[in-house]
Amino acid sequence: MTEKLIIHGGKALRGEVEISGAKNSVLKLMAATLLTGDSIELRNVPHLSDVGVMTQVLKYLGCDVDQQDDDRLYIQAKNITSCEAPYDLVRKMRASFDVLGSLLGRFGEARVALPGGCSIGKRSVDLHVKGLIALGAEVEINHGYVEAKASRLIGAEILLDTPSVGATENIMLAATMAEGATILSNAAQEPEIVDLANFLNAMGADISGAGTNELVINGVKPGSLHGTTYSVMPDRIEAATYLMAGVGTMGDVTVNNVLPVHLSSLTHKLIEMGAEIEMPSPNSIRIHSERRLQAQNIVTQPYPGFPTDLQAPFMTLLSTADGVSIVKETIYENRFKQVGELKRMGADISVERDVAVITGVPHLSGAEVNAHDLRAGAAMVIAGVMAEGSTQVFDLHHLDRGYEDVVSKMRSLGADIERVPDTSGRPVTEESA
Ligand code: EPU
């Protein structure tokens, strides 16, 4: 039975919330564990359905995977029985495509289903494939699968056409045990790339430059990567979601276990809009506001620009800000699916191609809305706590991919929110973030 959220909004959220480990990092760290036969212990691992899907992928390949009730996850890729990731698993979650680089890097072969597009955009993997070819792999695309082979990969100079997060990761994973150095230019600079590089270095890799646009991966001897214990970075997108829920309700919220620098592009915008922001400790951010926020413009960009993953939740805030705001989405072709839902809650938004114009209304009013994808779902939860009256949010499986314990965390801040069975029989929508 699917479930829905019922939120009685309009209450100021107050209090502190602990942020979980980052979904978009842990999935890649899990893929990276394939590079050694030793046991790996990951900590600060969130309980998310996407972690469950990556667990299924690794088990399918022959790994032992054991997620504890607390935040630990043990993985050992000692007895790999297959180098193939089937479509059934990859289509559920496109991050499973990251096993391509690891399998190729360690075993010299991989057969991984093409993820295809998803509801937010085309999401091609051409740059991943070009990068692996540059490292000397023979790559063919047959029957919907990427088939890659190489007796030994050779380091190369690679320039990405665009700083793709996934391509940077797959190339980095494949190149860790290549012969010689790989220089990857126009690399993605997201904090999750830094986390992956730090993890690989803790396993014995030799990677420098992570967090800049040029990565240098000095290949180490095949078989030389080893086990380690590593703590996953905090989830900057989850942290941002609670900050926006706090300020959107004119409350006072502190997020703990965060790295504030990861959230600079958001906090700068919020300060310009009139929010008060403080850092009570090096790992916390406090936000509060007693006044209606002012309108603001954003353009989504690769890190350190404004993240596309926050565009939908931020639009919820803008929908009640004073004045006219403009949002331009440059990363995905179809990431405005929250707009129709926000309009059902009384927002005044018009969309022309990749630009949305939002004229702030004094308040949102509760309605029945869909979480069309993961971040559109977060936008609906924020809208629900901000709105007057009652909101029901459907299609929660999207939210479960990336938000651990959203109901208990929101309740700890004073939100009136519950999760109940959805008996409406509505069809379930698919997406693969
Ligand atoms: N692109 C290409 N060719 C490629 C690779 C990417 O054209 O070979 C395009 C994509 O189509 C897209 C853009 O480049 O339009 C950015 O894609 P990128 O590869 O950077 O993203 P990703 O690795 O597929 C990760 C996150 C996304 C997040 C983006 C951008 C994970 C599991 N996913 O996706 O997260 O939006 O980086 O920051 O890490 C989410 O969490 O909701 C989510 C969608």
Ligand 1 pocket test target in 310, 331, 335, 430 with most atoms within 8 Å of CB: 331
Q: Is the pLDDT of residue 325 over 80?
A: yes
Q: Is the pLDDT of residue 423 over 90?
A: no
133 part of a folded domain: yes
- 63 included as an active-site residue: no
Nearest CA to ligand 1 atom 16: 164
The mean-pLDDT minimum among 207-216, 389-398, 423-432 falls in 423-432
254 lines ligand 1 (CB under 6 A): no
Among residues 187, 219, 251, the one where a domain terminates is: 219
Same domain? For 138 and 280 the reply is no
Output the pLDDT for position 396: 95
Model confidence at 430, in pLDDT bands (50, 70, 90)? Answer: low
C-alpha 350 – ligand 1 centre gap (Å): 25
Nearest CA to ligand 1 atom 22: 166
C-alpha 302 – ligand 1 centre gap (Å): 10
Q: Is the pLDDT of residue 262 over 70?
A: yes
Average pLDDT over residues 134-145: 96
pLDDT tens digits for 174-215?
999 999 999 999 999 999 999 999 999 999 999 999 999 999
Catalytic residue among 32, 58, 118, 120: 118
Output the pLDDT for position 431: 56
Output the pLDDT for position 121: 75
Output the pLDDT for position 337: 94
Nearest CA to ligand 1 atom 7: 124
Nearest CA to ligand 1 atom 4: 125
pLDDT tens digits for 30-70?
999 999 999 999 999 999 999 999 999 999 999 999 999 99
- Round to whole Å and give the CA distance between 313 and 381: 9
Percent of the chain past pLDDT 70, that is, above it, reads 98
Among residues 176, 193, 219, the one where a domain terminates is: 219
121 lines ligand 1 (CB under 6 A): yes
pLDDT tens digits for 334-354?
899 999 999 999 999 999 999
Same domain? For 214 and 65 the reply is yes
Same domain? For 202 and 298 the reply is no
433 lines ligand 1 (CB under 6 A): yes
Q: Is the pLDDT of residue 154 over 80?
A: yes
324 part of a folded domain: yes
Provide the residue range defining the domain that includes 336: 3-20+234-421
pTM for this model (two decimals): 0.97
Mean pLDDT of the chain: 96
3-state per-residue secondary structure call for the chain: CCEEEEEECCCCCEEEEECCECHHHHHHHHHHHHHCCCEEEEECCCCCHHHHHHHHHHHHHCCEEEECCCCCEEEECCCCCCCEECHHHHCCCHHHHHHHHHHHHHHCEEEEECCCCECCECCCCHHHHHHHHHCCCEEEEECCEEEEECCCCECCEEECCCCCHHHHHHHHHHHCCCECEEEEECCCCCHHHHHHHHHHHHCCCEEECECECEEEEECCCCCCCCCCEEECCECHHHHHHHHHHHHHCCCEEEEECCCHHHHHHHHHHHHHCCCEEECCCCCEEEEECCCCCECCCEEECCCCCECHHHHHHHHHHHCCCECEEEEECCCCCCCCCHHHHHHHCCCEEEEECCEEEEECCCCCECCEEECCCHHHHHHHHHHHHHCECEEEEECCHHHHCCCCCHHHHHHHCCCEEEEEECCCCCCCCCCCC
Ligand 1 atom nearest to CA at 308: 36
Same domain? For 192 and 333 the reply is no
35 part of a folded domain: yes
348 part of a folded domain: yes
Output the pLDDT for position 334: 87
Same domain? For 75 and 215 the reply is yes
Average pLDDT over residues 59-82: 97
The domain that holds 388 is classified in CATH as 3.65.10.10
Nearest CA to ligand 1 atom 28: 309
224 part of a folded domain: no
Ligand 1 atom nearest to CA at 126: 8
431 part of a folded domain: no
pLDDT tens digits for 357-391?
999 999 999 999 999 999 999 999 999 999 999 99
Average pLDDT over residues 313-329: 98
Ligand 1 atom nearest to CA at 127: 8
C-alpha 248 – ligand 1 centre gap (Å): 28
C-alpha 90 – ligand 1 centre gap (Å): 15
Average pLDDT over residues 405-416: 98
Q: Is the pLDDT of residue 432 over 60?
A: no
pLDDT tens digits for 301-319?
999 999 999 999 999 999 9
Same domain? For 82 and 189 the reply is yes
- The total number of structural domains in the chain stands at 2
Same domain? For 70 and 191 the reply is yes
Average pLDDT over residues 154-179: 98
How are strands ordered across the β-sheet holding 298-299?
298-299, 324-328, 355-359, 348-352
Nearest CA to ligand 1 atom 17: 164
At 46, the amino acid letter reads: P
Among residues 192, 219, 246, the one where a domain terminates is: 219
Same domain? For 274 and 127 the reply is no
Nearest CA to ligand 1 atom 44: 433
Output the pLDDT for position 116: 67
Same domain? For 104 and 149 the reply is yes
229 part of a folded domain: no
Average pLDDT over residues 239-255: 98
169 lines ligand 1 (CB under 6 A): no
Model confidence at 429, in pLDDT bands (50, 70, 90)? Answer: low
426 part of a folded domain: no
115 lines ligand 1 (CB under 6 A): no
- Round to whole Å and give the CA distance between 119 and 107: 33
C-alpha 91 – ligand 1 centre gap (Å): 15
Same domain? For 205 and 193 the reply is yes
Same domain? For 214 and 243 the reply is no
C-alpha 187 – ligand 1 centre gap (Å): 13
Model confidence at 433, in pLDDT bands (50, 70, 90)? Answer: low
Average pLDDT over residues 268-291: 97
Model confidence at 115, in pLDDT bands (50, 70, 90)? Answer: confident
24 lines ligand 1 (CB under 6 A): yes
Q: Is the pLDDT of residue 257 over 80?
A: yes
C-alpha 135 – ligand 1 centre gap (Å): 22
Same domain? For 292 and 412 the reply is yes
